């Protein structure tokens, strides 16, 4: 399939950071990489309380800011929730949706993920929609069944022809374990996901950025990113180190070239 899409490097800071640590991290990233390459987008996703700080720290740069979660509603009586309109208003452009840690610890399900993706799009955010199987699902040969179910649930809500979306393949067994999926596994699953979306909309599938997440680091990034259906990475641990994050970013530039 002919692809022309931009590549993406998205940093998921998870529940890490402080005002001082975030400032130091962004100063580090910006001193290592003063300007971005237009072929490779960079997005950082801090916890909610720091979104405004990050919007301020990145305002004169091309670095995007994303949230790690949003409500599936735009406003209303939803105590403790945060509307995608609110994060958009303070300078966010992206929202991670359906991360496996939310599925695992907060009980988020496929339907909720789809509604959140739609709410994010309605608020003008680009959702980074996460799908991925557990080790047990992979070992029992159900990876494609699980990916298809998660994907169909999310895309059931989305008007593919119009929407800007990033899809992230994040096998749960590779997240935070230090053991990334092999480049061959990543390619096979990205290809599966792209083909599954092509059933709905071929042009959209060809252009959809599909990024990989799960223990990406400097030592494995170039192998994974050079696979044909891999359009970048969703980075956890390595996104908290300016030099590592920027080195991974440069790997992507090289591959984009």
Rounded Cα distance, 118 and 218, in Å: 33
Closer CB to ligand PGA, residue 114 or residue 132?
132
Positions touching ligand PGA (CB under 6 A) are 12, 170, 175-176, 213-216, 234-238
For residue 130, the minimal CB distance to ligand PGA (Å) is 7
Based on CB atoms, which residue is closest to ligand PGA, 51 or 181? 181
- 170 catalytic? Reply is yes
Helical H runs in 90-238? 100-105, 110-122, 135-139, 143-155, 183-200, 202-207, 218-225
CB of 60 to ligand PGA, least distance (A): 27
Active-site annotation holds for 190: no
> What's the min distance (Å) between Cβ of 170 and ligand PGA?
6
CB of 142 to ligand PGA, least distance (A): 21
Length of the chain: 257
Looking up tokens 């030099």 gives 243
Q: Which is nearer to ligand PGA, 12 or 67 (CB)?
A: 12
Q: What minimum distance in Å lies between the beta carbon of 199 and ligand PGA?
A: 27
Q: Regarding beta strands 210-213 and 232-235, do their DSSP bridges make them parallel or antiparallel, or are they unpaired?
A: parallel
d(CA 67, CA 88): 9
Using CA atoms, how far apart are residues 210 and 213, in angstroms rounded to an integer? 10
Residue with smallest beta-carbon separation from ligand PGA? 236
Q: Are 72 and 106 in contact, with CB atoms under 8 Å apart? A: no
Nearer to ligand PGA, 58 or 68 (CB): 68
CA angle (189 as vertex; 12, 9 as ends), nearest 5: 30
The active-site residue out of 101, 108, 133, 170 is 170
Return the C-alpha torsion angle 92, 33, 101, 157, nearest 10.
Answer: 50
Q: Among all residues, which ones are annotated catalytic? A: 99, 170
């Amino acid at each position: 399939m002919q692809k022309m899409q931009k590549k993406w490097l998205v940093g998921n800071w998870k529940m890490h950071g402080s005002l001082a640590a975030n400032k130091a991290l962004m100063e580090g990233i910006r001193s290592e990489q003063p300007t971005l390459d237009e072929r490779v987008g960079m997005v950082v996703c801090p916890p909610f309380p720091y979104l405004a700080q990050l919007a301020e720290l990145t305002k004169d740069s091309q670095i995007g800011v994303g949230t790690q979660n949003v409500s599936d509603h735009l406003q209303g009586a939803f105590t403790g929730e945060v509307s995608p309109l609110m994060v958009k208003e303070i300078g966010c452009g992206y929202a991670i949706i359906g991360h496996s840690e939310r599925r695992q610890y907060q009980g988020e399900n496929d339907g909720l993920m789809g509604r959140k993706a739609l709410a994010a799009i309605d608020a003008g955010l680009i959702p980074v929609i996460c799908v991925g199987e557990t080790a047990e699902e992979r070992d029992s040969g159900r990876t494609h069944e699980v990916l298809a179910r998660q994907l169909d649930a999310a895309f059931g809500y989305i008007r593919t022809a119009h929407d800007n979306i990033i899809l992230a393949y994040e096998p749960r067994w590779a997240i935070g374990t230090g053991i990334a999926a092999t480049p061959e596994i990543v390619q096979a699953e990205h290809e599966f996901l792209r083909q599954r979306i092509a059933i709905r909309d071929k042009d959209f599938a060809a252009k959809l950025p599909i990024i990989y997440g799960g223990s990406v680091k400097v030592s494995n990034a170039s192998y994974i990113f050079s696979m044909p259906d891999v359009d970048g990475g969703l980075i956890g641990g390595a996104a908290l180190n300016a030099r590592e994050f920027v080195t991974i970013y440069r790997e992507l530039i090289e591959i984009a070239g």
